[in-house]
């Protein structure tokens, strides 16, 4: 099994998009703001996004501020603990500078403590990485940009329906790296297992990015959702996914990054020292967060919840005052909590603390359960800590399934 094949729904639910010094403040909160617009929806995308006319952008900003006002009034104490903000999408950088300023100014007036937070990330697509928009975001405290490159091969970009070329991607990367002198941290995303992609092609992309000046790199195996354009092409035999190359691509990318001084602190995320993403680590450590915008999820008091996913329904929901009865509620019981603790812990370099699991959840993982995985060299155990090693990273789904205790009382 490949990484996350079984748990895609959970990944999407968590909005993974990201501790500065590997120290997590357990009581901190995160704020995720979903910008649902793209100039063009990529062929593989199955998130809550739409290619919409620019006239909707101002309407969206007005609505998301109204949603924030209502939500923040319900629990003002949440605001005081916000330590990270993440602008994701969609394409946050698609918003003109004036509208981004209006949205962030409005959130500031509602109490979001932009001047006090530890990290403020904004996703950027190459085709909308205008200097004015980047500088405007920095004026409000954005100190980290995440650039969605996905590939450095024009033919592969075309196969997955990306709207930028390699040339445009390189120009955007250069703009962002130049901002490093102003204290800006830069991350870049790649995808692998793309149609007709080779191991050599992917590893070459990783090596280039590792030498480019970015401090953080994420790479993810392509997930082909059946209802997407790409899914249709694959089903009809128009494109072929190199399933048998997954392991070699992943391990090749890991090796290239480790040689370049990046460490794998999460299964798909690699950083130079002090470049780790605080926001996402809050997700992985089951910290609390709120999401604003259509399809954005929140987690608080052992409850995941979200407003409507589609833009039109979300718009009506906000206009009606964000009624609680329309929320999609997903209570996290003991079984779900144990599963997520095991899965999310093993995703990380730090691994799973068996003593903490036993203390917090009164659940133990027997040595006889660990031994077969240790013999396969998929995990290692040191004192009370269990970590993925070797091909265990690729076989993470199987490791988690083996470790989850059966017959957990509710």
What is the band of 11 on the pLDDT scale with cuts at 50, 70, 90?
very low
pLDDT at 47: 81
Q: What is the pLDDT of residues 345-402, one digit of tens each?
A: 999 999 999 999 999 999 899 999 999 999 999 999 999 999 999 999 999 999 999 9
Q: For the chain, what is the HEC assignment?
A: CCCCCCCHHHHHHHCCCCCCCCCCCCCCEEEEEEECECCCCCCCCCCCCECCCCHHHHHHHHHHHHHHHHHHHHCCHHHHCEEEEEEEECCHHHCCHHHHHHHHHHHHHCCCCCCCCCEEEEEECHHHCCHHHHHHHHHCCCCEEEEEEECCCHHHHHHCCCCCCHHHHHHHHHHHHHHHHHCCEEEEEEEECCCCCCHHHHHHHHHHHHCCCCCEEEEEECCCCCCCHHHHHHHCCCCCCCHHHHHHHHHHHHHHHHHCCCEEEECCEEECCCCCCHHHHHHHCCCEEEEECCCCEEEECCEEEECCCCHHHHHHHHHCCCCHHHCEEEECCHHHHHHHHHHHHHCECCCEEHHHHHHHHCCCCCHHHHHHHHHCCCEEEECCEEEECHHHCCCHHHHHHHHCCCCCCC
- pTM listed for this prediction: 0.90
pLDDT in tens, 113-158: 998 999 999 999 999 999 999 999 999 999 999 999 999 999 999 9
SS (H, E, C) 330-379: EECCHHHHHHHHHHHHHCECCCEEHHHHHHHHCCCCCHHHHHHHHHCCCE
Angle at 237 between CA 233 and CA 242, to 5 degrees: 90
What pLDDT score was predicted for residue 406?
A: 77
Average pLDDT, the chain: 90
Map tokens 């969206």 to a residue: 60
Percentage of the chain modeled with pLDDT above 90 = 82
Query: Which domains does the chain show, CATH number per domain?
Result: 8-284 (3.20.20.70), 334-403 (1.10.10.920)
């Amino acid at each position: 099994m490949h990484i996350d094949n079984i748990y895609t729904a959970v990944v999407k639910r968590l909005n993974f998009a990201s501790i500065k010094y590997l120290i997590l403040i357990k009581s901190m909160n995160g704020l995720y703001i979903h910008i649902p617009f793209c100039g063009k929806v990529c062929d593989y995308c199955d998130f809550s996004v739409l290619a919409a006319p620019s006239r909707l952008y101002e309407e969206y900003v007005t609505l998301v501020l109204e949603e924030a006002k209502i939500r923040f009034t319900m629990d003002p104490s949440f605001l005081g603990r916000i330590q990270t903000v993440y602008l994701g999408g969609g394409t946050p950088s698609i918003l003109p500078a004036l509208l981004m300023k209006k949205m962030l100014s409005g959130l500031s007036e509602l109490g979001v403590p932009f001047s006090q937070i530890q990290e403020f990330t904004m996703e950027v697509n190459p085709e909308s990485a205008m200097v004015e928009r980047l500088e405007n975001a920095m004026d409000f405290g954005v100190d980290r940009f995440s650039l969605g490159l996905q590939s450095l091969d024009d033919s592969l970009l075309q196969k997955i329906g990306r709207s930028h070329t390699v040339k445009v991607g390189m120009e955007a990367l250069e703009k962002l790296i130049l901002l490093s002198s102003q204290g800006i941290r830069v991350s870049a995303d790649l995808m692998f297992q793309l149609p007709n992609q080779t191991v050599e092609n992917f590893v070459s992309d990783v090596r280039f990015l590792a030498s480019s000046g970015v401090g953080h790199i994420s790479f993810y195996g392509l997930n082909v959702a059946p209802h997407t354009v790409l899914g249709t092409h694959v089903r009809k035999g128009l494109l072929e996914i190199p399933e048998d190359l997954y392991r070699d691509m992943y391990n090749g990318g890991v090796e290239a990054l480790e040689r370049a001084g990046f460490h794998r602190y999460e299964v798909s995320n690699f950083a130079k020292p002090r470049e780790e993403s605080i926001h996402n680590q809050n997700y992985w450590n089951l910290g609390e967060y709120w999401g604003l915008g259509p399809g954005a999820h929140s987690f608080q008091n052992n409850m995941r919840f979200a407003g409507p996913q589609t833009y039109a329904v979300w718009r009506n929901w906000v206009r009606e005052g964000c009624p609680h009865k329309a929320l999609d509620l997903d209570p996290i019981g003991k079984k779900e909590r144990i599963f997520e603790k095991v899965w999310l812990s093993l995703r990380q370099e730090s691994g799973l603390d068996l003593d903490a699991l036993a203390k917090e959840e009164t659940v133990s993982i027997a040595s006889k359960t660990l031994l077969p995985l240790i013999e396969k060299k998929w995990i290692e155990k040191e004192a009370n800590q269990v970590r993925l090693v070797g091909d265990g990273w690729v076989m993470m789904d199987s490791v988690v399934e083996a470790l989850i205790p059966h017959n957990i009382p509710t």
